[in-house]
Every structure is written in structure tokens, then in C-alpha cells.
Amino acid sequence: MSLNLFDDAEQSRVWHEELCPGALVLRHFALSYEPAIFAALDEIAAQTPFRHMVTPGGFTMSVAMTSCGSYGWVTDRRGYRYDKVDPLSGKQWPVLPEVFRKLAEDAAARAGFADFAPDACLINRYAAGARLSLHQDKDERDIGQPIVSVSLGIPAIFLFGGACREDKTQRIQLTHGDVVVWGGPARLHFHGISPLKEAHHPLTGDVRINLTFRKAT
């Protein structure tokens, strides 16, 4: 299958917005990878279904999640962690599709992180009303590597704060194809997603899908 990764017309519609030193939104960056992304997503969800996990405090998350790559992010009553095995199936997570790796590496490079080597991709699915409260991504061993976060489907408001939970947060609307990259001085900044409003997107229906690439180990 031709991935059509370097369609000039698509790439010329990409622009970036800096949130703070080390954090950028690459508008429309994922659009040229789109058909291959959706084909890969369907295969992953068939092997490792989306599920609502439970936090250590006993809350069921409103966001449904699954993973691919060498490690998947999981939470249960025992805590948050990266695991090589999907606790639902007892099997390894599906391999990171080539188009996912390429998208993540290209976006990181575009944002100035040339050596990004993701080994984990958390896949979040948000229906209307789902949210993700402010948190830091700090379960990864090497915080020298950035986070690359791809938005697909219906829009969301991304909250991006500072190094302290109390810091003021920016509210950024993310739409289909936008990619956020944060690393360096912004790597441990607090972030989250406001409750999603009802909407419809021709490719995802009434949900938002977010791919978050990390170097977990």
C-alpha cells in the first residue's frame, strides 16, 4: 500500500504554534498519514479492544484505552505502569504499525526532537462527556524523550499547564490531524482534556481518538 506520506499539498497545510519552550502544536500534521492510520487502528482494536480501566483510587476512567508497541500503559488497583502484556488477553500488545512509528518520528523531528524512538503507543477513545484530568506523563524511564500526541476525529480542548499543578493552563482546541509534541523543558508539564462536546466526524463517528507515543523504557 502506498502511504502517500509526502504529499506536498497536504504538508503545505501544516503549520505550528508554540505553547511554551519545548511544546508545539503541529496543525494538520497527521492528515497525510490518514488512510494507513485508520487501517492500522482497526486491526489493533480487533486484537486488543478498547476498555475502561480503573485508577488506583478505584475510579473507572471515562476514556476507553488500548495500546500497541512493546509496552502498553495500564492502570488498575495496583497502580499505573507499562506492561509488555495486555491484561485482558494475557498476550503481547500488537506491534507498533510502521505508519505509526513514521508519523511519531516525523512529528518529533519537525518539533526539534530528532532521535525519538517510541516503544509504546497509548490509544485513547473519547465519547462525548469523556475527559482526562490534569496529569503529568511521568511513568516513562527516559524523560529526555518527548511525548507525541495525535488527535483524530471530533475536536477536544487540550489543557496545557506548567510544571506545577497550580500553574495557569492554556486551552487549545485540537482538531482532526493535529499533533502536539512536548519535551525538553516542557516534558513534565501538566496536561489534560476537557469533557468532550457531542460532535460528529466522517472518519470516527461520534468519538475522538488520540494516539500518544512515548519511549516508555
* Contact set with ligand SIN (CB under 6 A): 122, 124, 132, 149, 158, 191, 193, 210, 212
**Lookup: cell for 203:** 472518519
Q: At what angle do helices 98-110 and 34-47 cross, to 10 degrees?
A: 130
Residue 211 near residue 135, CB atoms below 8 Å = no
Using the rule CB under 5 A, is 140 a contact of Fe ion?
no
Q: Interacting stretch for Fe ion, rule CB under 5 A, among 1-9, 87-95, 129-137, 166-174?
A: 129-137
Question: Which residue's CB is nearer to ligand SIN, number 32 or number 149?
Answer: 149
Least distance (Å) from ligand SIN to the CB of residue 189? 11
Separation of CA 61 from chain center: 16
Select the span of 64-72, 74-82, 133-141, 154-162 touching Fe ion (CB under 5 A).
133-141
> Does residue 106 belong to the site contacting Fe ion (CB under 5 A)?
no
Q: Is 10 in the site for Fe ion (CB under 5 A)?
A: no
Q: Residue 121 has which C-alpha cell?
A: 503507543
Find which of Fe ion, ligand SIN, none residue 216 binds, CB within 5 to 8 Å per kind: none
Nearer to Fe ion, 32 or 124 (CB): 124
Nearer to ligand SIN, 4 or 44 (CB): 44
Q: Using the rule CB under 5 A, is 137 a contact of Fe ion?
A: yes
Nearer to Fe ion, 86 or 137 (CB): 137
Residues in contact with Fe ion by the rule CB under 5 A: 137
